[in-house]
Structure 1
Amino acid sequence: MTRPSPIDPSSLMADVAAGDDGAFRALTQTLYGPALGTAMKVMGSRAEAEDAVQTALVKLWKTADRFDPERAKVSTWFRRIVVNCCIDRKRAMKPVEDIDEIHDAASDEAGPEDATGDMMRDRRVNAAVMELPARQRAAITLFYGDGATMSEIAEALDTTPKAIEGLLARARAELARRLAPLKEELEA
């Protein structure tokens, strides 16, 4: 049995720009999984992440003619759309007032078997990340969660690698401040 040859996303983009529904479905199958993973890291909720990716796919369909294969890979270009959709959704959402509310809500959902120290620590870290400003959260999740390079993150956030260094530095400093009590608990 021969394996089908991999589909070139760049050639699919040309077909999508020409209005080819089949090419759009094929491209969606290629991009959806990685995009959902990125969106979940930025949004913190699968439902919100799915909505953001759907919005991004609509934007991809509408703006496919703007894609320039000389400037970026399709996956990088689409990641930028996804991250921007996530940031827009986060800005539109009501901010959580207290980090303990997130922690308490997560604890309410967990059963007694989930009450291990590692899980509680992870929840607190995730809650602290979710409290970061949207661009800092996007930068830190793309860097640590997706392993994206400074250049890839800069492209996704429409800025420079130097600006990403600043975003990451501010995010790390804020996380260190927010997680200082956790660090003290772990050291005790």
Structure 2
Amino acid sequence: MGVLVLGIGNILWADEGFGVRVVERLGEGWRFPSGVTLMDGGTQGLYLLPHIEEADALVVIDAIDYGLPPGTLRLIRDGDVPAFLGAKKMSLHQTGFQEVLATAQLTGRCPGRLRLVGVQPAVLDDYGGGLTDVVAAQVEPAAALALDILGREFGIVPEPRGAATPSDPVSRHAYEGGRPSAADACRIGDPRVLAGRFA
């Protein structure tokens, strides 16, 4: 069985980066057997179609507006997945990904098994921001849920890597740790520019 574990979202928009951060955590913590692909899908939309069409099973991890308290983690299965991805669009990537699944279904090449691990975001409009505390607290539980799905439903048991320090400059630890304060880095637009243009 070919399984694609796909984190989608944008790490530059606070809780929007949840799916990417969970897949990053899975890659740091475990080695997966051949046939399992971990992918940072970012906001690539239709560019993800060939990867999805090749998979027998797809586990999507994303920030989803369920209308629930921030940090709520939910698992959605099979036919309900496209509906939840499009119910309340928070960003353009969700529209794009819903279209990807619809295209795969239309061509008869959609994975036979779909799982969506989603978290209710708290903040989306903090440009350059990291995950909020309530959503960051769900990274480990979401990774554990993805591992449980892989093991219990698909018979895939990865091998733990042991302790490792991420070295990627956009890893969550490096990215959020190196973020300047709000006083040092304006996140709402520079008034020196905006005042002249829109006055």
TM norm structure 1: 0.28
Which one has the bigger helix percentage?
A: 1
TM norm structure 2: 0.27
Which one has the bigger strand percentage?
A: 2
